[in-house]
Chain A
Amino acid sequence: MSETESKGISRRSLLKGAAATAGAAVGSGFVGGFPTIWAQNIKDVTITHVGSIYTTNPTVAAQAAKDLGFKVEMQTLDQTTQINRMLTQPTSIDVTDFGNTAMGYFKGKDLIMAIPVKEYKWWDKTVPLFTQGTYADGKPYSMQGYAPIKSQFWTDANATDYSLTPTDYIVGIPVMYNADTLGVRPDLVGRPITSWKELLSPDFTGKTALQDGVNVGVPDAAMALEANGDLTYVDKGNMTREEIDKTIDKLIEYKKAGQFRSFWTNFDQSVQLMASGEVVLQSMFAPAVTEVRTRGIPCVFQALDEGARGWYIFQMAMKHLDSGDKLRRDCVMEYMNWSNSGFNGAYFSRQGFYSSVPDNVKPLMTDNEYGYWYEGKAATADIIDPFGKVMEKAGAVRDGGALWDRMGKIAIWNTLMDEDRYLVRRWQDFISA
């Protein structure tokens, strides 16, 4: 391990200069402790980052290659395929990323590397959601569901189990996070929406929708059932079998009464349901709400009394890197440090996600952009999305306000319950009913 430390020399400048100084380094042993593998030209290195549609895109890949001097190949897969590929061809992937709904799959699998905290540059500037398990003001957040702190730390370098308290080894570097609530068509609901219980309100029978699935849809349904007084839970994000039974039975009642219009499986479907007016309120992801709005259709992301459903995405390195080519491992670490150095964060911040290192993003955004996206300020000029489309006109204020107004009231996190097996089985009953 000690040989990977580059005391006194910044890793980036070292890597960049590696090609140039290679000959000297090999001959003289100038860079003490580094093996001769450094002599290789990093230009020949290509690292493979497999991730979601939110985290992999050509713009960021091109910028990474330009800044780093080696090639970053990004591949986009759906979560199931991505996990299958990791399990069956782990060495075909170097860097991967997942949200909290998948983190429960990686314990004891020997797939993900334990990243020594000291190798990650931005840890001290990372929001405390991840480093301490608290909000910015130091108050602890809800531990219902897969809260960030539940999958942030490995207990030790063996990387088999997660630790609830900080250790020297992190599971992944936190990339983006956000708080989701209900997307609402203000022109069609006809009255203020302030609670999750409205999902089950008879006023909107046949006009509400949920995400299809047990990791997001069920937590949302549980928020609504609890707000409506139908059920109470010890932990909505990790239900007991008895709680699962009660939840599914109750949902079947609502389904049979025609409460739900649809259960959506992907981003486009949720946008379409809302834009076409088939649905007037539904659980939704932030960029889907903005997508509806860019079509000129009113749609708001409503702050609700009970709080929001939080989520995050970790970027992780594969464990095979530890025992493989050391240059590759160093390039991967360099890339991961780059990921949170600003460009990438500014790019996805303009889509409405939050960066785990806001300080690095701020210099790369205009005051107007940062003010609108992070500080809850009214836009002083038009807000443009990363694709050049006008997203908001001057004067607009982000739904829910500033970062910690939106992120500071999480009721539940996206999840993978311990009783997942039972829940999926009962979910089948629900769909069949």
Chain B
Amino acid sequence: MAVGVSPRTASWLQATPFALIMTALVIVPLGIIVVVSFMDYGFAEIIPEFFIGNWTDIFKSTLTLDLYETVLRHIVIVWAITLVLGFTVAYYLLFHVRSNFWRAIFLTACVVPFWTSGVVRSVSWVPLLGREGLVNQALMGMGFIQQPISWLLYSEFSVLLVYVNMLTLAMLGPIANSMAKISPSVIQAARDQGATEWQTIVEVIIPLIKPGIVVGTIFVVTAVMGDGFIVKSMSGNQVNTPAGAIMNEINALQYPPAAAKSVLMLVIVLLFVGTLLRFVDIRKELAR
């Protein structure tokens, strides 16, 4: 085998296919998006002349602030709720459900809603949350309210509700994965030392599942940041987010401002993920 290829050359050769794929499918397209963001545009056409207006609009208008204020609010709320829900469910499944059979049943139950298509799920919220929907009928029937509540649907509330519904599993999965790696003897040791369940959670389990939380956080944050579909359909096009704004411009065939907004979003997401990864070495943790 050894035909005079130095180890150095060998590693270069090994890295080449992936490098080529990354360059052709990621770096070059991104480069094009960056270039287009500095171009002018007309009706369904990109005018190849240098134009800074797409960027000045981003940094000078209040629109950008509005969009990111909205999406950050969504991220914080959805992250907090999915973290609590995801942790609680995962903890119960791994440390309280004794039988593997029931654990499998419960995990499947978490996944079942995702067996239907996204379109069907988004449509089926209307008979549930609408003015004449089940929730309003139930609340009125029980005498809690006299008039139907209209903010259950086509509002920021319904957007957040669907995010939580969709993304709890994205948080639950990585957390459960990390929890499964905790050796029962560690928990046993904590108990033997007289730790309460709460102390075990705070001082033993949470430090050990940090990588799971980080991975779940990355899933949730990037999903909310990149979503334009749910926010549009569940708010009745009345809530705008950075991704929704990009979709609006693409639908109007106005690519340069959409490109500029995409570059900005990419930078923000990369900064965020990069910062998170400084705190937890995912590669090392996952290899355990």
How many chain A residues touch B (CB < 8 A): the figure is 37
With both chains docked as a complex, state the minimum distance between the C-beta of B54 and any C-beta of chain A, in angstroms: 11
The answer, yes or no, to whether B188 is at the interface (CB within 8 Å) is no
Chain A CB within 10 A, most for which of B57, B130, B236, B253: B236
The answer, yes or no, to whether B90 is at the interface (CB within 8 Å) is no
With both chains docked as a complex, state the minimum distance between the C-beta of B2 and any C-beta of chain A, in angstroms: 49
Closest B residue to A263 using CB positions: B237
Stretch at the interface among B62-70, B212-220, B280-288: B62-70
B 120-137 binary contact with A (CB < 8 Å = 1; else 0): 000100110011100000
B154 to A262, Cβ gap below 8 A? Answer: yes
Interface of chain B residues 225 through 245 with chain A (CB within 8 A): 232-233, 236-240, 244-245
The answer, yes or no, to whether A16 is at the interface (CB within 8 Å) is no
A262 to B238, Cβ gap below 8 A? Answer: yes
Interface of chain B residues 61 through 99 with chain A (CB within 8 A): 63, 66-67, 70
Interface of chain A residues 79 through 127 with chain B (CB within 8 A): 80, 83-84, 87, 104-105, 107, 109
CA distance A425 to B43 in the complex (A): 14
Interface bracket on B: 35 or more
CA distance A424 to B247 in the complex (A): 11
Known A-B contacts A431-B238, A431-B239, A431-B240; A83 and B253 likewise in contact (beta carbons under 8 Å): yes
With both chains docked as a complex, state the minimum distance between the C-beta of B234 and any C-beta of chain A, in angstroms: 10
CA distance A420 to B41 in the complex (A): 11
Stretch at the interface among A32-40, A270-278, A341-349, A400-408: A270-278
The answer, yes or no, to whether B32 is at the interface (CB within 8 Å) is no
A 187-223 binary contact with B (CB < 8 Å = 1; else 0): 0000000000000000000100100111000000000
With both chains docked as a complex, state the minimum distance between the C-beta of A296 and any C-beta of chain B, in angstroms: 16
The answer, yes or no, to whether A367 is at the interface (CB within 8 Å) is no
Closest A residue to B248 using CB positions: A428
CA distance A428 to B243 in the complex (A): 12
> Which of these, B132, B248, B253, contacts A105 with CB under 8 Å?
B253
B43 to A420, Cβ gap below 8 A? Answer: yes
The answer, yes or no, to whether B254 is at the interface (CB within 8 Å) is yes
Interface of chain B residues 28 through 77 with chain A (CB within 8 A): 41-45, 57, 63, 66-67, 70
Interface of chain A residues 37 through 85 with chain B (CB within 8 A): 80, 83-84
Chain A CB within 10 A, most for which of B41, B153, B240: B240
Chain B CB within 10 A, most for which of A84, A206, A276: A276
CA distance A87 to B255 in the complex (A): 13
With both chains docked as a complex, state the minimum distance between the C-beta of A353 and any C-beta of chain B, in angstroms: 24
B63 to A429, Cβ gap below 8 A? Answer: yes
Known A-B contacts A262-B154, A262-B236; A432 and B70 likewise in contact (beta carbons under 8 Å): yes
Residues of A within 8 A of B153 (CB): 278
The answer, yes or no, to whether A255 is at the interface (CB within 8 Å) is yes
Chain A CB within 10 A, most for which of B248, B250, B257: B248
The answer, yes or no, to whether A427 is at the interface (CB within 8 Å) is yes
With both chains docked as a complex, state the minimum distance between the C-beta of A424 and any C-beta of chain B, in angstroms: 5
The answer, yes or no, to whether A7 is at the interface (CB within 8 Å) is no
> Which of these, B70, B132, B244, B249, contacts A276 with CB under 8 Å?
B132
CA distance A276 to B148 in the complex (A): 14
Closest B residue to A261 using CB positions: B154
A425 to B57, Cβ gap below 8 A? Answer: yes
Residues of B within 8 A of A370 (CB): none
A276 to B127, Cβ gap below 8 A? Answer: yes
B44 to A424, Cβ gap below 8 A? Answer: no
Q: 8 other contacts beyond A263-B237, A276-B132, with CB at 8 A cut-off? A: A105-B43, A261-B236, A265-B232, A268-B123, A276-B130, A427-B248, A428-B248, A433-B66
Q: Can you give 25 contacting A-B residue pairs, CB < 8 Å?
A: A87-B44, A104-B43, A209-B236, A213-B251, A214-B252, A260-B236, A261-B154, A261-B236, A262-B154, A262-B237, A265-B232, A276-B131, A276-B132, A277-B130, A277-B132, A278-B130, A278-B131, A420-B43, A421-B254, A424-B249, A425-B257, A431-B237, A431-B245, A432-B67, A433-B66
Closest 5 CB pairs of A and B: A262-B236, A263-B237, A432-B240, A431-B240, A212-B237
Residues of B bordering A, CB below 8 Å: 41-45, 57, 63, 66-67, 70, 123, 126-127, 130-132, 150, 153-154, 232-233, 236-240, 244-245, 248-254, 257
